[in-house]
């Protein structure tokens, strides 16, 4: 059937529905566009009539309203510089939709930026996922383009999109360009942290750190290193939900706008595929295994582990088939191939100019599940076969060949032991002192972020370079929201002596842009009365052995149980100030969060949002 004939048929059907000459109740499952998800007034024809009354107030014609509708999620906010280019991207997506014969309608959802959300953006990730899911389900859209970029935005959108299960495509805002200081390239946010550490140590003065502040984020876009935003963008390509160039094209480039236009056109095409390209059908266990391979090969953010576990547990057919051990098993087989900060030395612009995700995936072909479907309708293998190779001399590439990697395997490792029976995560490739990957030392314990702030730079703090810095109560419930405080600062008196790395242990997260020998996401978290992390004391010896995947405190089981029992009694005796007990009477979103959030090894999602049957 020609497109004009189909358009005439759709318009005739719309007219018949509007006049009451078509039985809408018999077409519930096949309705698209304005005819789907009608508000319930007890009269389907009146519902459609009223909907058209109001949509026509915006100037739409019957011809426009008879077309497939592509929703565009608008996450622009004046508090979100990562999303400053969203208005331009929406215009380009709309152009692509309309060139392909669809109708584009944008709508807003929550917008999250890491630096502008209290107590943390992670605390609001699940709320954004709920907002995204409910708006996709509630509104008459046949497919949705999810526009976002900043750290928690992309996982929140994918969590909500999988649960809503309408066709989705992702369009990230893209990485910012690097800046320059004294002729040296710099960029948010690895260089933010490195230079701030130098300032704390007295290596640079107030004037220089102020000058750096002007250059670290010189353009709109997400952090220009392999932080969480860039990691999640690369993972989207690995999952098959975004074109190859979609992860790396700079936010301020014309390439980013062309990708947006292509995304709009693809959104119209996937509508006709029916259920086949809906996320719960498109994404399989193999899709997620590909994503984990990508995570290990790029030296990606540890945050991606907790996000992926939340995303996986939203998928009815995949939930329960992948756990933290899967990440470690894949890591043992996957080399680190991308030379980007914080594991390497380059920026996302260099990755893009080296051929980006297409060239990386070609190197990873021996490991990938090439039969996994992509949103283009082609398998990953078919899509790679169609992609023309970019000839870049190896000395100018930041992508290493498969057989000469930057790091042989296990960029991200999963540790277990009596300190982390539910697991803990470490980005081993970002360690600044490899000797610390096998280390035992006496614990210096901080009871939370406030205690850390008060004591970390105290000259009387009993700490040596061999100490293990332990930060408790920054997990999902303990803080709440798992702040990126796991990068515990080197005590000032040690930093002044040139100490740049120490073994640090916590139940919180760290920025994907950060580096160091840091154990994160310890489960169960310290606030949990059953946690071992929560009963660690100053002077306890902690052992970390990455090769053995071991994390333990050197005290016997009897002493551990004695301390836990004493803690339980203390919590019950004066539980009004303990977060595990306080949450029972909290109001609003905070109460919902505190009562419903699960542990980091399960994704720190709300228990009631997990897919049915995922535990």
Longest dimension (CA), the chain: 84
pLDDT in tens, 416-428: 999 999 999 999 9
pLDDT of residue 13: 55
Domain boundary among 39, 61, 83: 61
In a domain, 605, yes or no: no
Is residue 419 within 8 A of residue 551, CB to CB? The reply is yes
223 and 94 share a domain? yes
Does residue 374 sit in the same domain as residue 432? no
Asked if 320 and 285 touch (Cβ cutoff 8 Å), the reply is no
Given 369, 386, 403, which residue is the final one in a domain? 386
3-state helix, strand, coil in the chain (%, to 5): 45, 15, 40
The dihedral through the CA atoms of 148, 151, 157, 162 has a sign that is positive
The answer to whether residue 317 sits within a structural domain is yes
For residues 440 and 574, membership in a common domain is answered with: yes
Does the pLDDT of residue 148 top 60, yes or no?
yes
Co-location of 202 and 304 in the same domain? no
Question: How many domains does the structure of the chain reveal?
Answer: 4
State whether 561 and 458 are in the same domain.
yes
459 within a domain of the structure (yes/no):
yes
User: CA nearest 170: which of 132, 212, 226?
Assistant: 132
Distance of CA 48 to the CA centre of its chain: 38
Residue 272 pLDDT > 60: yes
The residue among 35 and 149 whose pLDDT is bigger is 149
Which one has a higher pLDDT value, 604 or 576? Answer: 604
- Residue 485 in this model has a pLDDT that exceeds 80: yes
| pLDDT score of 27 | 41
Q: Is the pLDDT confidence value at 41 over 70? A: yes
Residues 170 and 257 in one domain: yes
Say yes or no to pLDDT of 157 above 70: yes
Is 95 among the domain residues? yes
The pLDDT score that the predictor gives to residue 585 is: 83
Kindly state the average pLDDT of the residues 503-528.
95
Assign 61 a pLDDT band (cuts: 50, 70, 90).
very high
154 shares a domain with 250: yes
Of the given ranges (130-144, 188-202, 267-281), which has the lowest mean pLDDT?
188-202
pLDDT, tens digit, 9 for 90 and up, residues 167-202: 999 999 999 999 999 999 999 988 998 899 899 889
407 found inside a domain: no
Residue 394 domain flag:
no
Residue 232 lies in a domain: yes
In a domain? residue 612:
no
Same domain? 364 vs 467: no
**DSSP track, 458-489:** -TT----TT-EEEE-S-STTTTTS--S--SPP
Kindly report, residue by residue over 458-478, the tens digit of the pLDDT.
999 999 999 999 999 999 999
Tell me, yes or no, whether 551 and 531 share the same domain: yes
Do 310 and 239 lie in one domain? The reply is: yes
Same domain (yes/no): 31, 113: no
Average pLDDT, rounded, for the chain: 92
* 49 and 110 within one domain: no
**pLDDT digit string, tens, across residues 321-360:** 999 999 999 999 999 999 999 888 999 999 999 999 999 9
Banded model confidence at residue 8, pLDDT cuts 50, 70, 90: low
| Predicted local confidence at residue 100, as pLDDT | 97
Tell me: the pLDDT tens digits for 203-218? 999 999 999 999 999 9
Cβ atoms of residues 144 and 169 within 8 Å: yes
Task: Report whether pLDDT(79) > 50.
Answer: yes
Judged against a pLDDT cut of 70, whether residue 7 lies above it is answered with no
* Domain range enclosing 224: 69-177+219-386
> For 97-108, what is each residue's pLDDT tens digit?
999 999 999 999
Instruction: Kindly state the average pLDDT of the residues 157-165.
Output: 98
């Amino acid at each position: 059937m020609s497109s004009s004939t189909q358009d005439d048929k759709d318009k005739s059907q719309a007219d018949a529905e509007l006049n009451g000459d078509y039985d809408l109740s018999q077409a519930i499952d096949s309705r698209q566009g304005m005819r789907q998800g009608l508000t319930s007034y007890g009269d389907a024809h009146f519902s459609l009539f009223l909907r058209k009354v109001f949509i026509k107030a915006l100037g739409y014609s019957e011809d426009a309203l008879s077309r497939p509708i592509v929703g565009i999620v608008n996450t622009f906010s004046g508090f979100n510089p990562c999303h400053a280019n969203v208005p331009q991207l929406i215009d380009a997506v709309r152009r692509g939709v309309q060139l392909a014969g669809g109708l584009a309608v944008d709508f807003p959802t929550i917008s999250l930026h890491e630096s502008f959300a209290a107590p943390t953006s992670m605390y609001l990730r699940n709320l954004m996922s709920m907002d995204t899911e409910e708006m996709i389900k509630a509104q008459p859209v046949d497919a949705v383009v999810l526009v976002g970029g900043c750290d928690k935005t992309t996982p929140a959108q994918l969590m909500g999109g999988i649960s809503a299960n309408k066709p989705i495509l992702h369009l990230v805002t893209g990485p910012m360009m690097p800046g320059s200081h004294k002729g040296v390239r710099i960029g948010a946010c690895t260089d933010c942290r490195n230079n701030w550490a130098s300032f704390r140590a007295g290596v640079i003065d107030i004037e220089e750190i102020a000058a750096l502040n002007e250059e670290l984020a010189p353009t709109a876009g997400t952090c220009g290193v392999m932080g969480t935003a860039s990691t999640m963008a690369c993972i989207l390509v690995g999952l098959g939900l975004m074109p190859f160039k979609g992860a790396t094209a700079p936010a301020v480039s014309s390439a980013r706008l062309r990708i947006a236009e292509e995304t709009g056109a693809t959104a119209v095409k996937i509508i006709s595929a029916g259920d086949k390209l809906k996320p719960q059908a498109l994404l399989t266990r193999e899709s997620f295994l590909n994503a984990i391979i990508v995570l290990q090969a790029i030296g990606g953010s540890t945050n991606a582990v907790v996000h992926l576990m939340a995303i996986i547990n939203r998928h009815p057919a995949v939930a329960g088939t992948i756990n933290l051990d899967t990440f470690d098993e894949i890591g043992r087989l996957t080399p680190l191939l991308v030379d980007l900060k914080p594991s390497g030395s380059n920026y996302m612009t260099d990755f893009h100019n080296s051929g980006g995700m297409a060239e990386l995936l070609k190197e990873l072909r021996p490991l990938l599940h090439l039969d996994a479907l992509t949103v283009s309708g082609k398998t990953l293998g078919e899509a790679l076969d169609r992609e023309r190779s970019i000839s870049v001399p190896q000395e100018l590439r930041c992508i290493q060949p498969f057989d000469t990697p930057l790091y042989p395997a296990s960029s991200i490792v999963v540790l277990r032991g009596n300190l982390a029976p539910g697991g803990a995560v470490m980005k081993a490739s970002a360690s600044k002192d490899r000797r610390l990957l096998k280390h035992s030392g006496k614990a210096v314990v901080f009871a939370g972020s406030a205690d850390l702030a008060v004591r970390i730079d105290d000259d009387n703090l009993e700490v040596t370079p061999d100490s293990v810095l332990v930060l408790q109560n920054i997990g999902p419930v303990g803080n709440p929201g798992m702040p990126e405080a796991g990068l515990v600062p080197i005590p000032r008196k040690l930093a002044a002596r040139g100490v740049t790395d120490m073994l640090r242990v916590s139940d919180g997260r760290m920025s994907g842009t950060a580096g160091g020998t840091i154990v994160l996401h310890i489960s169960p978290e310290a606030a949990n009365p059953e946690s071992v992390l929560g009963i660690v004391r100053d002077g306890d010896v902690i052992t970390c052995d990455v090769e053995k995947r071991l994390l333990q405190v050197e005290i016997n089981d009897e002493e551990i149980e004695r301390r836990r029992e004493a803690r339980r009694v203390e919590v019950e005796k004066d539980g009004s100030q303990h977060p595990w007990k306080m949450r029972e009477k909290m109001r609003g979103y905070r109460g919902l969060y505190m009562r419903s959030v699960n542990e980091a090894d399960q994704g720190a999602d709300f228990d009631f949002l997990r897919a049915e049957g995922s535990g």
